[in-house]
């Protein structure tokens, strides 16, 4: 085996002085992968927004849009990571005097490192905006569902003017109750009834006996019904109110469950897509490294014009 000028074997000298990582090639592959990922993600957003319609029964359904998003994310990871891994393998230095298994491992590591750097860069640039869009949509859906659950109590509270300064209006109303309610305006009656309904719904949903009797008196005064018929009407209306509130709460729970399932499936498929990107980046780096080692350098003859003899 030939020795170098200082007496060491070339392989020993290289292994003791040179790093096994070509960071220039890694960063070059990562930059290309991150740039291509950004381009493809923006293209995916554009295609997705163009396929969605605010009108009912038009455009892509939510299920189709979710499947398309997952497929596009996997496609983006495979293409961008493969390109980054290939560039990282193709631009690395040529490792001489190394066994083929070591070259194979280093090429794999270069592709994986390029994928890691590109993923971090892409997450920094894109994940913020993507998470804001996704979380905004989830929060909007949750707010709609939660608003449906509180629609009855909120509507009744606003109708009665039940603010923080009037949260004891129910007890104040009870001070002026009479067996024969005096004639008051409709707004005042509506406010009183509303406060009774809101308090009853908040305290387990059971309408107190004295409240039921008093509401029957108010209804009988304005409808010419008997006290018994008025109390039956109170029971019917209050039962419908309870059912509306229960249906709204059920819809809110179903919406929350759906959102949780969608978030879980999206996270799992994102994990699969990222794992596929890491695999294809390492595989492409191996192919690019082999192409790098197969490079043949061209030798050219340079003709030097002799100087004239004086």
Please say whether the dihedral angle defined by the alpha carbons of residues 12, 15, 17 and 18, taken in this order, is positive or negative: positive
| pLDDT one-digit tens code per residue, 194-224 | 888 888 887 777 788 888 888 888 888 788 7
The single residue listed with the structure tokens 């070591």 is: 102
Question: pLDDT band at 109, cuts 50/70/90?
Answer: very high
Is the pLDDT reported for residue 111 higher than 90? yes
Question: pLDDT band at 3, cuts 50/70/90?
Answer: low
Average pLDDT, stretch 171-189?
A: 66
The pLDDT assigned to 304 comes to: 57
Whole-structure pTM value: 0.60
Question: 287: buried, middle or exposed (CB in 10 Å: 19+, 13-18, 0-12)?
Answer: middle
Contact 219, 233 (CB under 8 A): yes
DSSP state of 123: I
The pLDDT assigned to 148 comes to: 47
For residues 162 and 56, what is the distance between their CA atoms, to the nearest angstrom? Answer: 36
Is the pLDDT reported for residue 19 higher than 60? yes
List the one residue out of 102, 78, 123 whose CA is nearest residue 283.
78
- Which carries the bigger pLDDT value, residue 185 or residue 289? 289
For residues 26 and 116, what is the distance between their CA atoms, to the nearest angstrom? Answer: 10
Contact 54, 72 (CB under 8 A): no
| pLDDT one-digit tens code per residue, 61-83 | 767 777 888 888 899 999 999 99
Helix, strand or coil, per DSSP, at residue 175: helix
Please say whether the dihedral angle defined by the alpha carbons of residues 155, 158, 164 and 169, taken in this order, is positive or negative: negative
Task: Specify which of 43-47, 76-80, 203-207, 266-270 reaches the highest per-range mean pLDDT.
Answer: 76-80
What is the average pLDDT value for the chain, to the nearest integer? 76
The pLDDT assigned to 161 comes to: 45
| pLDDT one-digit tens code per residue, 114-165 | 999 999 888 887 666 555 555 555 554 455 445 544 544 454 444 444 444 4
The pLDDT assigned to 292 comes to: 86
The pLDDT assigned to 187 comes to: 74
| pLDDT one-digit tens code per residue, 225-256 | 888 888 888 888 888 888 888 888 888 888 88
For residues 63 and 60, what is the distance between their CA atoms, to the nearest angstrom? Answer: 8
The pLDDT assigned to 165 comes to: 42
Identify any residues that bridge with 59 across adjacent strands, giving them in sequence order: 52
The pLDDT assigned to 16 comes to: 54
The pLDDT assigned to 56 comes to: 61
Task: Specify which of 87-91, 159-163, 302-306 reaches the highest per-range mean pLDDT.
Answer: 87-91
């Amino acid at each position: 085996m030939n020795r170098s000028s200082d007496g060491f074997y070339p392989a020993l000298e290289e292994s003791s002085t040179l790093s096994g990582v070509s960071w220039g090639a890694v960063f070059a592959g990562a930059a290309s992968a991150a740039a291509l990922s950004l381009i493809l993600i923006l293209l995916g957003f554009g295609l997705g927004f163009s396929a969605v319609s605010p009108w009912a029964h038009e455009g892509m359904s939510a299920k189709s849009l979710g499947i398309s998003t997952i497929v596009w994310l996997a496609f983006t990871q495979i293409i961008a990571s493969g390109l980054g891994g290939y560039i990282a393998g193709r631009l690395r230095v040529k490792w001489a005097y190394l066994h083929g298994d070591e070259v194979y491992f280093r090429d794999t590591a270069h592709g994986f490192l390029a994928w890691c750097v590109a993923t971090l860069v892409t997450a920094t640039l894109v994940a913020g905006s993507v998470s804001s869009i996704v979380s905004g949509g989830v929060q909007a859906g949750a707010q709609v569902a939660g608003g449906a659950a509180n629609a009855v109590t909120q509507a009744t509270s606003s109708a009665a003017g039940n603010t923080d300064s009037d949260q004891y209006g129910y007890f104040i109303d009870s001070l002026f109750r009479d067996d024969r309610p005096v004639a008051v305006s409709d707004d005042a009656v509506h406010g009183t009834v509303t406060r009774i309904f809101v308090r009853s719904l908040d305290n387990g949903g059971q309408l107190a006996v004295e409240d039921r009797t008093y509401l029957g008196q108010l209804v009988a005064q304005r409808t010419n019904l008997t006290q018994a018929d008025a109390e039956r009407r109170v029971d019917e209306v209050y039962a419908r109110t309870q059912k509306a509130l229960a249906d709204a709460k059920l819809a809110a729970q179903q919406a929350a469950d759906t959102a949780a399932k969608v978030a879980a499936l999206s996270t799992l498929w994102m994990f699969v897509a990222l794992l596929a990107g890491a695999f294809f980046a390492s595989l492409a780096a191996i192919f690019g490294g082999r192409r790098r080692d197969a490079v043949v350098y061209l030798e050219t003859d340079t003709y030097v014009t002799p100087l004239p003899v004086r």
